[in-house]
Amino acid sequence: MKLFRLFTTLLLLAVIVLFVRQNMATFQRDLDFSLYLFIREDVRWSLKVSTVIFLSGFVGLLIGLALMFRPFYHTRKALQAERSEKERLLGERAKASEEADMAHPQAVAGPPREKAPEPQAADTPAG
Classify residue 19: in a domain, yes or no: no
65/57 Cα distance (integer angstroms): 12
Instruction: Please state the domain count of the chain.
Output: 1
4/55 Cα distance (integer angstroms): 33
Classify residue 13: in a domain, yes or no: no
Q: What is the pLDDT of residue 74?
A: 83
Classify residue 66: in a domain, yes or no: yes
pLDDT in tens, 82-104: 998 888 888 888 888 887 777 76
Q: Using H for helix, E for strand and C for coil, what is the string for the chain?
A: CHHHHHHHHHHHHHHHHHHHHHCHHHHCCEEEEEECCCCCCCEEEEEEHHHHHHHHHHHHHHHHHHHHHHHHHHHHHHHHHHHHHHHHHHHHHHHHHHHHHHHCCCCCCCCCCCCCCCCCCCCCCCC
Q: Considering only CA atoms, which of 33, 34, 26 is closest in space to residue 47?
A: 33
Q: What is the pLDDT of residue 52?
A: 92
Classify residue 114: in a domain, yes or no: no
Classify residue 112: in a domain, yes or no: no
Is the pLDDT higher at 99 or at 108? Answer: 99
Classify residue 85: in a domain, yes or no: yes
What pTM value is reported for the model? 0.50
The domain of 72 spans: 26-102
